Amino acid sequence: MDKTKTVIVTGASSGIGFAITKAYLDQGYNVVANGRDKGRLDEAAKQLGQPTNLLLVAGDISLPETAKSLFTLAQKHFGKIDILVNNAGIFISKPISQYTAEDLDNIINTNLKGFFYPTQLAVEYMKPNKGGHIVNITAAIALQPNLAVPALLPIMTKGAINSAIKGLALELANDNIRVNGIAPGIIQTPMHTQDHQSLSMLKSLCPSNNIGQVTDIVDAVLYLTDSQFVTGTVMVVDGGSTAGKW
């Protein structure tokens, strides 16, 4: 049985999730990666060189059966699960009056159910191992809303996870399972358009007039999962955007 540490990453086919997956593979971890679209997930694996310590599970992470497949596969092939990174998420910015019922369902499904089902299983699998790490990618705007970016549904769902992190960290402290979050500000990913006008607007949301890189989030994830004494925290990685008014 492989004794190398094993990490599960959701939303792993692009952007932050892809970078997190690559970082753990580069460190020699076993990785079980999830993405909704099989074609995109297969392409991500191809870009990573099809390593033998990378397993793929395509499917909607808001469904309990998808989460179950992730953990069953990880346990079967690698023997245990040490880390869960709940990265999958949806961000839709619009005034409250413009949100649709479909928007509400999609965001609740991915952001909340996609956090709950994998986390519930992580606890089940980590308790017998007497430890583990659960890291959740949330959003800085849920800590300090910004009038320039109306985003009630992401604020509502990611804000709930920011609170849940603290409660779960306390609940699992005696099981040596650490629970933390990372709240990114504006990060350069395929989610954002690349035209000059859009980039200028995004930069204006940061006091340094800059945009973060996926490596900034990766560094934070690796720090948290290396730490033995950090739990119940939401680490803000936003270039100072939530530090105050500027």
pLDDT of res. 192: 59
- CATH classification of 6-237, choosing from 3.40.50.720, 2.60.40.1220, 3.40.50.300, 3.40.50.10800? 3.40.50.720
pLDDT of res. 196: 77
> Structure pTM?
0.95
Give me the numbers of helices (H) and strands (E) for the chain, helices first please.
8, 7
**Strand ranges of the sheet holding 30-35, from the earlier edge strand across to the other edge:** 54-58, 30-35, 6-9, 83-86, 132-137, 177-184, 234-237
Q: Tens of pLDDT along 179-190?
A: 999 999 999 886
pLDDT higher than 60, residue 177: yes
Cβ atoms of residues 20 and 87 within 8 Å: yes
pLDDT higher than 90, residue 195: no
